[in-house]
Amino acid sequence: MRAVSIKNGKGPVDALYIDDSVSEPELKNGEVLIRVKAFALNRMDLMQREGKYPVPAGTSSILGVDYSGTVLKIPPGTKTPLQEGDDVFGLVKGGAYAELLAAPVETIFLKPKELSHEVAASIPEVWFTATQVLLEVGEFKNGESLLFHAGASAVGIAAIQLAQLHNAKYVFATVGSDSKKEAVKKLQLKNSPTKIIPINYNSEEFVDVIKENSPEGVDVIIDPVGGIYFTRNVSILKLDGRDVVMGSMTDTNVKFDLLAVMLKRLQIKGTTLRSRPLAYQGKIADIVKAEILPKIVSGDLLHPIEKVFKLEEIVEAHKLMESNKTTGKIVVTIP
């Protein structure tokens, strides 16, 4: 089959190439075979390509965690309501940058006919992650306030809207440009009482902006950026606040005041979605299916697509993500 491979196993963007002699995936118990029509890029793909992402044991070495396509084969005895020929999309632990994919039944969705394969393929990772970091790990409650770093990232776009569904009071979001501030403002949902305040970290200090608007601080911080923000995060959390570490795009070593953690009863939590057991991912899938998917189909939740590439353009697709200029999902199709 055709799949995206990496020369010498890891490397810079130009190491990516289309390999047409990759072995077809072998199905494990509880997996079905998918003919992939589209897959989406996620930031961790860049890190994995460079050999800097700890891929869970037993996972395909092929990049890619979300896909849309058609069910080709369901082994006898597999517990699933799906049928061969169904159009589906979902989340996998790896292997989506390929024509054929082994996908676990726990995290497969029937594709609503209103959604194209391109849109469907780009839903799982970001909305599962937003659900996990905000609701499961961040334990965000109605009326609380949120700070999301990298607010115009694909996960940020999802989480900022999800926080509004849970009646956030304030959502502060750091971004790297004024045009990204505008993109974040557009995430205001109809009839939502939430006040969304984007902050350009190149010209504004997020601690000052938060103090001006919400002197008591915020309840939850979701941080994919890491080291450079941690000390300031601790300073701006309220009593019983939660700091959710979900990425480390900058430094991972930090020095901070333990006293503040103790006196404010803060919780510092870390998480990754990919390493979670299938049963946990299946639970998140149920929440996404019930609460989020219908709202994406109806257009009540925005799920912007930045650009769609063909498989042969995979290098350009990775270059676009590396540019840090996007405010939507990058998708690749396999006709």
Q: Provide the binding-site residues for ligand NAP, judged by CB under 6 A.
A: 42-44, 125-126, 129, 150, 152-155, 175-176, 180, 224-225, 246-247, 249-250, 271-273, 321, 324, 326
Task: State in angstroms the smallest separation of the CB of 152 from ligand NAP.
Answer: 5
Task: State in angstroms the smallest separation of the CB of 246 from ligand NAP.
Answer: 4
195, 218 in Cβ contact below 8 A?
no
Residue 150, both tokens: 């990298």
- Identify which of residues 29 and 275 has a Cβ nearer to ligand NAP in the complex: 275
Question: Can you tell me the distance from the alpha carbon of 324 to that of 146, in angstroms, rounded to the nearest whole number?
Answer: 23
- Identify which of residues 153 and 214 has a Cβ nearer to ligand NAP in the complex: 153
- Identify which of residues 7 and 319 has a Cβ nearer to ligand NAP in the complex: 319
- Identify which of residues 100 and 318 has a Cβ nearer to ligand NAP in the complex: 318
- Identify which of residues 22 and 236 has a Cβ nearer to ligand NAP in the complex: 236
63, 97 in Cβ contact below 8 A?
yes
- Identify which of residues 151 and 217 has a Cβ nearer to ligand NAP in the complex: 151
- Identify which of residues 104 and 226 has a Cβ nearer to ligand NAP in the complex: 226
Q: Which residues pair with 110 in a beta bridge?
A: 88
**What's the burial of 115, exposed, middle or buried (CB within 10 Å: 0-12/13-18/19+)?**
buried
- Residue 255 CB-half CA count within 13 A: 0
- Identify which of residues 201 and 256 has a Cβ nearer to ligand NAP in the complex: 201
Task: State in angstroms the smallest separation of the CB of 272 from ligand NAP.
Answer: 4
Residue 266, both tokens: 């803060």
Closest alpha carbon to 69 in 18, 112, 28, 121: 121
Task: State in angstroms the smallest separation of the CB of 175 from ligand NAP.
Answer: 4
Q: Taking the alpha carbons of 143, 132, 198, 157 in that order, is the dihedral positive or negative? A: negative
Question: Can you tell me the distance from the alpha carbon of 100 to that of 104, in angstroms, rounded to the nearest whole number?
Answer: 13
- Identify which of residues 249 and 297 has a Cβ nearer to ligand NAP in the complex: 249
For 294-310, b/e burial (b = at least 16 CB within 10 A) is: ebbeeeebbbbbbbbbe
**What's the burial of 98, exposed, middle or buried (CB within 10 Å: 0-12/13-18/19+)?**
buried
Q: Which residues, in sequence order, are CB contacts of 8 under 8 Å at separation 6+?
A: 15
Task: State in angstroms the smallest separation of the CB of 54 from ligand NAP.
Answer: 12
Task: State in angstroms the smallest separation of the CB of 142 from ligand NAP.
Answer: 24
Task: State in angstroms the smallest separation of the CB of 216 from ligand NAP.
Answer: 26
**What's the burial of 211, exposed, middle or buried (CB within 10 Å: 0-12/13-18/19+)?**
middle
Task: State in angstroms the smallest separation of the CB of 250 from ligand NAP.
Answer: 5
Task: State in angstroms the smallest separation of the CB of 274 from ligand NAP.
Answer: 6
237, 222 in Cβ contact below 8 A?
no
